[in-house]
Chain A
Amino acid sequence: MLQKLYDWVDERLDITPMWRDIADHEVPEHVNPAHHFSAFIYCFGGLTFFVTVIQILSGMFLTMYYVPDIIHAYESVYYLQNEVTFGVIVRGMHHWGASLVIVMMFLHTLRVFFTGSYKKPRELNWVVGVLIFFVMLGLGFTGYLLPWDMKAYFATVVGLEIAEAVPVVGGFAKALLAGGEIIGAQTLARFFAIHVFFLPGALLGLLGAHFYMIRKQGISGPL
């Protein structure tokens, strides 16, 4: 039955080459921890992606309760934390995942750096990877404001003060992020939009490019 369905689609769209590109390839010994335990350093990138997937899923569930305005934001997070079934787990996974993704990405960056894997022909993939790093930091910064509690608010105040210190474009960047002079209702709405739509969109595009280049170029050879 399943085979028939596959054949039906394959006859029309020729999906077998796509499947071969995605899944049908060999994994060399030097990245396989089953052969050399020290190859576990090659797991960091995959684990970063794993946490990213969890962040996307848990974030989708959080938006079912979260209300992005200054009157209700805190109340909705409080309700989510204390009343909703498993709300404390879902919010906890999103909270800790935000830290874990930074940790795993940091380790992955160090692995790629110290194995010299960014060298020709993989320069572009390194650049895309560093851009993913910046997007992740942006996601961390914008997401931190959303609970609208004391630490969230004042961390954002400090962060935007630092942005304002940048010469020439600083004032503009702050006004763009905060939506005006004061950090208030408009800031929360903007951070929500950036955190939920703009940066995840950029992240998915960059991840797509990152993975496409890995498949195209293959993993770097042994040292």
Chain B
Amino acid sequence: MHRGKGMKFVGDSRVPATRMPNIPKDYSEYPHKTEAFWPNFLLREWMVGAVFLIGYLCLTVAHPSPLERVADPTDSGYIPLPDWYFLFLYQLLKYEYAAGDFTVIGAVVMPGIAFGALLLAPFLDRGVERRPIKRPVATSLMLLGVIATIFLTWESVDQHDWEAAARQGAIVEDEIDEDAEGYQIYMSQQACINCHGEQGEGGAAAPNLFESDYSKEEIMDIIINGQGEMPADLFEGSDEELEIMAEWIENDGEAPE
């Protein structure tokens, strides 16, 4: 019998001259009840899938996926954390003999051995026995690997400062108080809005009003006398209104107490 390269065919390449070995045993040879894949078994699988999907959707609705503030590469104080299924590797690299001068051990040697062994498992565990209890070496190594992975992930979650991370990543919204008297006065001054925007957010021609730390007196002085590209004497209201608006700007857009 000939297999592989040079094998003979009858007619064309669809019909080999000799029957290929390794055709799986017909399941009717197993001394039990079999079931047709289509449609009987597939219908059961469909039901399992439906139950799974309900759980999946409940999870999705109950916990909307997280979104932190936009990436700021200059914020070096942020505590980084990979997604949960990489935590075991991240945690491994924190230990003394797997980090620093030994990073190669933690980043390459240990994961390399573990995943290499996983990839080549059929060639390492070549015995004919299939029951876990009959192949103690393979079974215990796999159990060790699973326990180590779970332990490392657990430790990583335990050591991470979740509250600090939530604070660091939170989306900060610069809300201004639109009911404040200062805002009403600001909105009546078209010259201010033209450059600083309706929310005082600034733009191409002018900075954000609330990102500076000027006092009320300094703000009034800038409005009256101008500064840089900002012209003088654009405010068209009474001195009292000017004072109220300056207080509102000093107070970062909130009405003063």
Are A149 and B85 interface neighbours, CB within 8 A? Answer: no
Are A23 and B37 interface neighbours, CB within 8 A? Answer: yes
Q: Is B48 an interface residue (CB 8 A)?
A: yes
Complex Cα gap A98–B44 (Å): 25
Complex Cα gap A148–B35 (Å): 49
Are B108 and A167 interface neighbours, CB within 8 A? Answer: yes
- Measured between beta carbons, the chain B residues less than 8 angstroms from A118 are 121-122
- Measured between beta carbons, the chain B residues less than 8 angstroms from A43 are 45, 48
With A92-B65, A116-B130 already in contact, the answer to whether A47 and B82 are too (CB < 8 A) is no
- Measured between beta carbons, the chain B residues less than 8 angstroms from A97 are 56
Contact of B129 among A27, A74, A91, A116 (CB under 8 A): A116
Q: Is A186 an interface residue (CB 8 A)?
A: no
Q: Which residue of B lies closest to A22 (CB)?
A: B38
B52 to chain A, nearest CB (A): 6
Q: Is B10 an interface residue (CB 8 A)?
A: no
Contact of A137 among B85, B90, B127 (CB under 8 A): B85
Q: Main secondary structure on chain A at its contact with chain B?
A: helix
Are A184 and B73 interface neighbours, CB within 8 A? Answer: yes
Q: Which residue of B lies closest to A27 (CB)?
A: B41
Complex Cα gap A109–B120 (Å): 13
Are B108 and A166 interface neighbours, CB within 8 A? Answer: yes
Number of contact residues on B: which range applies?
35 or more
Are B123 and A123 interface neighbours, CB within 8 A? Answer: yes
B72 to chain A, nearest CB (A): 7
Q: Is B19 an interface residue (CB 8 A)?
A: no
Q: Which residue of A lies closest to B45 (CB)?
A: A46
Q: Is A197 an interface residue (CB 8 A)?
A: no
Contact of A162 among B36, B89, B123 (CB under 8 A): B89
Are A148 and B71 interface neighbours, CB within 8 A? Answer: yes
Are B65 and A127 interface neighbours, CB within 8 A? Answer: no
- Measured between beta carbons, the chain A residues less than 8 angstroms from B5 are none
Are A24 and B38 interface neighbours, CB within 8 A? Answer: yes
Q: Is A38 an interface residue (CB 8 A)?
A: no
- Measured between beta carbons, the chain A residues less than 8 angstroms from B4 are none
B24-32, B201-209, B234-242: which one contacts chain A? Answer: B24-32
Number of contact residues on A: which range applies?
35 or more
With A26-B34, A32-B41 already in contact, the answer to whether A119 and B81 are too (CB < 8 A) is no
Complex Cα gap A96–B122 (Å): 32
With A26-B27, A26-B37, A47-B48 already in contact, the answer to whether A92 and B84 are too (CB < 8 A) is no
B131-139, B185-193, B215-223, B243-251: which one contacts chain A? Answer: B131-139
Are A28 and B119 interface neighbours, CB within 8 A? Answer: no
Complex Cα gap A141–B121 (Å): 25
Q: Which residue of A lies closest to B76 (CB)?
A: A154
A145 to chain B, nearest CB (A): 9
Chain B residues numbered 100-139 whose CB sits less than 8 Å from any CB in chain A:
103-104, 107-108, 115, 118-123, 125-132, 135, 138-139
Chain A residues numbered 197-223 whose CB sits less than 8 Å from any CB in chain B:
216-218, 220-223
With A130-B119, A148-B71 already in contact, the answer to whether A96 and B89 are too (CB < 8 A) is no
Q: A91-B65, A99-B84 are in contact. List 15 more A-B contacts (CB 8 A).
A: A26-B27, A35-B33, A40-B48, A81-B65, A81-B67, A89-B61, A110-B142, A113-B142, A116-B129, A140-B83, A141-B82, A144-B83, A150-B70, A150-B75, A162-B90
Are B86 and A159 interface neighbours, CB within 8 A? Answer: yes
- Measured between beta carbons, the chain B residues less than 8 angstroms from A134 are 115
With A88-B64, A165-B107, A184-B73 already in contact, the answer to whether A127 and B122 are too (CB < 8 A) is yes
A-B contact pairs, 20 of them (CB 8 A): A24-B36, A24-B37, A27-B34, A29-B35, A34-B35, A46-B45, A46-B48, A96-B65, A113-B138, A116-B135, A118-B122, A119-B130, A123-B123, A131-B119, A140-B85, A141-B86, A150-B78, A154-B80, A217-B24, A221-B30
- Measured between beta carbons, the chain B residues less than 8 angstroms from A148 are 70-71
